[in-house]
Amino acid sequence: MTGTPKAAGKSSITHINLDLVLDNIMVGPRATYLDLGCGAGNYTLALARRLGAGSLVYALDLWEEGLVALSEAAREEGLGNVEPKVADLSRPLDLATGSVDAAFMATVLHDLPEAARPGLMEELSRVLVPGGIFALIEFKKFAHGPGPSSPDNRIGPKDADRLTAPHGFIRDVEVDLGEFTYLVRFIRE
């Protein structure tokens, strides 16, 4: 992938119950987190605020302008626990094996080319510690509301199961986040 990501600058954060999302992402106050496709970092900042010192949130995105905005916002708020990185999610991640306790991806996976998705899941399995969590937030398979206009271009919970299972993920919980979105949390074996 090259250039500006498809939905650069958009965020689903206004369509979700943020407390419910953070409750399903957090594994501890002194853990390492990974926000895949962070954009301008709305979710990253919310998580970093809740965690505070002693934690680390890697924020990966291809959109450099969004990462600059995230860096500035984190600096202005005094959040030293945010580390933005330019990353193409269709390529290997520049993170050490077993270096992340929890990862999440908020309404981004549907924009990643289908052919790149298994590779990303394999990379995610590599960087997560055994027993680590992966929380996927996606749009429900509707033909209306925010997100892809066709239900065929959306990723439902069963689609997520089929994508993650071959890479050592077991579904833990599914959470309804409101009218348009859901969260599925997986545990890495």
Which whole-number Å values give the CA distances from 85 to 40, 53, 119, 131, 136, in the listed order? 12, 19, 19, 25, 20
- Higher-pLDDT residue of 13, 160: 160
13-188 carries CATH number 3.30.70.141: no
* Burial tier of 129 (Cβ tally within 10 Å: 0-12, 13-18, 19+): middle
Q: Are 52 and 28 in contact (CB under 8 A)?
A: no
Q: Where are the domains of the chain?
A: 13-188
| Interval 53-93: pLDDT, tens | 899 999 999 999 999 999 999 999 999 999 999 999 999 99
pLDDT average, residue stretch 101-111: 96
> What pLDDT sits at residue 138?
95
Task: Using alpha carbons only, give the angle 33, 34, 40 rounded to the nearest 5 degrees.
Answer: 120
> What pLDDT sits at residue 14?
65
Predicted TM-score (pTM) of this structure: 0.92
> What pLDDT sits at residue 8?
47
pLDDT over 80 (residue 9): no
